[in-house]
Structure 1
Amino acid sequence: MVIAVDAVGGDYFPKVPVQGAVQATQENPDLEILLVGPQEMIQAELDSQDYDKERIHILHAPQIIGMDESPASAVKSKQQSSITLGLSAHKKGDCSAFVSAGNTGALLAASTFLLGKLEGVIRPTISATYPTLKGISLLTDAGANLELKPEMYLQFAKMSRILSREILGIENPTIGLLNVGEEPEKGLETHKEVYSILSSMKSFVGNIEGKDILQGKADIYLTDGFCGNVLLKYGESIPGILQHMLKKTMSEENVDAQTQKQIFGILSRALDAFNYEHVGGIPFLGVNGMSLVGHGGSSATAIKNMIFNAVQCVEHDINKKIVASLNENI
């Protein structure tokens, strides 16, 4: 299987994407990688690595879409970018998937424009993994669509269930709607309408309040992209904030260096579930192809795991299962 990797996506390109790609081929002997980006830049990084020249190739893409560029204008003006050419290669069948830790908005816009939508999909979405006391849950929408129509929630629920079941291994994922109270009549008019629509799903467990998110009251939390992205970024900040608070408190209490090291080690293990490296990246759900996006600050390990996630998504044929699910009452 060939996976295309955006070699100039993320905060630490090309070193991190190239390292992640090399690691992926070292751990999966059946995998080939197509690194997309400026050829000289990629080759210079490859020359510093021990890599399999038969399984890692370069697709020259001279333009780079920056993390802070406007997605619409960047996709339109940079036709020779790594995102555009990588997705075009995927559409032509030169690779089975495209993965990037680059500009999320640009990747979504280009994926939707170049690959199109799956049959019956109103709009593509993106989920994010969210740690809870019961394991990993999905947060959908995590920022792709800031405002949602009620019927979109139902589609997002069905698509998220496929991802949760096929990739996270949750046999019968449950759905919860993020709201300001548990009762059906709580929230804005949109939430009340969505509650009524989702009630037809056997897997719907009702409204989920903020205090219940980390308790793991559902396997999938549904919300609009505005709230979802705020919640996602808040969750990502938790480990760093706790470490800062703990360091400050231990300093005030004159805790010795050896004990501090032991405590930080315990805290690090306890917060390991918040580490996005384990998942690496998540596919855009509803796109007629396989396009995955990772965190801008991804490490080589995160890139490697995003590549492996892409392989899983292709092998599990999740797009075919998503289309089938849209007409099912689950």
Structure 2
Amino acid sequence: MGLQVPVAQGGHGQGLLALSVITETIGKACPSSALCFGMHCVGTAVIAAKATQYQKEHYLEAIAAGRHLTTLALSESGSGAHFYLPATQITTCGDEFAVNGIKQFVTNGGHADSYVVSTVASEDDNEEGDFSCLIVDSKAQGLEWREPWNGFGMRGNSSRALGLNNVRVPVKNLLGEPGDQVWYVFEVVAPFFLMAMAGTYLGIAQAALDAAGEHLRTRSYAHSGEALRDIETLQTRYGSMWIALEKTRSLVREAARLGDLGEPNALPFILACKADAGDTAVMLANEAMTICGGSAYRENSRVSQMLRDARASHVMSPTTDLLKLWTGRSLLGLPLL
């Protein structure tokens, strides 16, 4: 649980590469679990980026010891895919903030010990475009959890809406300086989130390839004894699946490597990796559905679960279309926003 916690606070001090490998490993077995773990790691990275001594002792050490689960609460219904434009308000009240707003699709919602919440900067510091991030503890008064998640895919995750009704948060829970949220979003949230999700969808793609391969190796026609793996058209389809997976994995690993090294040309790689991993996961899960035939079309089959979970990649902000737009702008030397 302390993958992104610095070694000085008892963690592993790891970066993007380790995160992508571990979320892929978990995602191969259960994408929902990879999503929940990945979002904990992203929230941890945000806390660690500019942690005060209090935040190190109160949050990072507990996370590293396995006693504390955190996550992000950034999305709002009014901003859609533009998760970096919150409307949630904070007001300074002495040594506390009063927080008011509604967050959507909070991963681990109702189960985490803390939530990294994005807000408009307080009225004392607010200039147009200024936003802030702060840590909201799960036991704070005024948190209202909305209906349980009942989605098309990623059904093992509690992705719920959170109402913040005059929630009091100590000023010492502010992350960085007032108005730092945009810095956090693009310097910490984006790379760690995109790498965690790219790993998750790689795991789905690998699981789909494995399911197709197992079906081809073990099934044969009763009337002829011919194994499915001996049919050339299926061999070709399976080979194409493997090529697509390895191409995407190479992109994700290179993005992680460049990001961990702080290379200036890392940005388009990082932006592209979740988009490409999502496309590959959907394609391979769809191919596995075809190759595995009727057994894959049983209600709640393992392969159909892969396809439902993979499909979430395109709508999970930043969406696939938005990431491809940002990739193009980055490559052309244009500002992302």
Q: TM-score range by the shorter chain?
A: under 0.3
Greater length-normalized contact order (CA 8 Å, ≥ 6 residues apart): 1
- Which is richer in helix? 2
Give the structure-2-normalised TM-score. 0.26
